[in-house]
Chain A
Amino acid sequence: MTNPGLRREVINIYKELLNLGKNYPQGYPYFQTHLHKSFASQTGLQDEKDIRKGIERAEYVKKEIEALYYLKRYRALRRRYGQA
Chain B
Amino acid sequence: MPTPLKILVPVKRVIDYAVKPRVNKARTAVETAGVKHSMNPFDELSIEAAVRMRERKNPPVDDILALSAGPAKCVDVLRTAMAMGADRSIHVEIPDAGQGQAELEPLGVAKLLAKVVAEEGPNLVILGKQSIDDDSNQTGQMLAGLLGWGQATQASKIEFDDGDRVSVTREVDGGVETVRFPLPGIITTDLRLNEPRYASLPNIMKAKKKKLEKKTLSDYGVDEGRRLKTVRVEEPPPRKGGGKVEDVDGMIAKLKELGAI
8 A Cβ contacts from B7-22 to A: 17-18
Asked if B41 and A77 make an inter-chain contact with CB atoms under 8 angstroms apart, the answer reads: yes
Q: Cα distance A78–B198 when bound, in Å?
A: 19
Interface size of A in residues (CB-CB distance below 8 Å): 17
Closest to B172 in A: A84
State which of A15, A66, A70, A73 has its C-beta within 8 Å of the C-beta of B17.
A73
Report the interface size class on chain B. 10 to 19
State the total of A-B contacts with C-beta under 8 angstroms: 35
Q: Cα distance A76–B20 when bound, in Å?
A: 12
Q: Cα distance A12–B200 when bound, in Å?
A: 11
Q: Cα distance A78–B171 when bound, in Å?
A: 13
A81 in contact (CB, < 8 A): yes
Asked if A77 and B17 make an inter-chain contact with CB atoms under 8 angstroms apart, the answer reads: yes
- Cβ–Cβ < 8 Å partners of A80 in chain B: 132
- Cβ–Cβ < 8 Å partners of A84 in chain B: 154, 171-173, 190-192
Q: Cα distance A66–B197 when bound, in Å?
A: 8
Asked if A69 and B17 make an inter-chain contact with CB atoms under 8 angstroms apart, the answer reads: no
- Cβ–Cβ < 8 Å partners of A70 in chain B: 195-196, 198
Q: Cα distance A74–B173 when bound, in Å?
A: 19
B201 in contact (CB, < 8 A): yes
A56 in contact (CB, < 8 A): no
Q: Cα distance A12–B190 when bound, in Å?
A: 34
Closest to A65 in B: B198
- Cβ–Cβ < 8 Å partners of A76 in chain B: 17-18
- Cβ–Cβ < 8 Å partners of A35 in chain B: none
Q: Cα distance A72–B185 when bound, in Å?
A: 32
Shortest distance from the beta carbon of A21 to any chain B beta carbon, whole Å: 12
- Cβ–Cβ < 8 Å partners of A74 in chain B: 191, 195
Q: Indicate with 1 or 0, residue by residue over A40-84, a CB within 8 angstroms of chain B CB atoms.
A: 000000000000000000000000001001101110111011001
CB-CB under 8 A for A20 and B18, given A84-B154, A84-B171: no
Counting from the closest, the 7 A-B pairs by CB-CB distance are A84-B171, A66-B198, A19-B201, A16-B201, A70-B195, A76-B17, A77-B191
- Cβ–Cβ < 8 Å partners of B171 in chain A: 84
Asked if A20 and B190 make an inter-chain contact with CB atoms under 8 angstroms apart, the answer reads: no
Asked if B200 and A16 make an inter-chain contact with CB atoms under 8 angstroms apart, the answer reads: yes
Q: Indicate with 1 or 0, residue by residue over A14-29, a CB within 8 angstroms of chain B CB atoms.
A: 0110011000000000
- Cβ–Cβ < 8 Å partners of B198 in chain A: 20, 66, 69-70
- Cβ–Cβ < 8 Å partners of A78 in chain B: 191
Query: What would be 20 A-B contacts, judged by CB atoms less than 8 Å apart?
Result: A12-B201, A16-B200, A16-B201, A19-B204, A20-B198, A66-B198, A70-B196, A73-B17, A73-B18, A73-B41, A74-B191, A74-B195, A77-B132, A77-B191, A81-B191, A84-B154, A84-B171, A84-B190, A84-B191, A84-B192
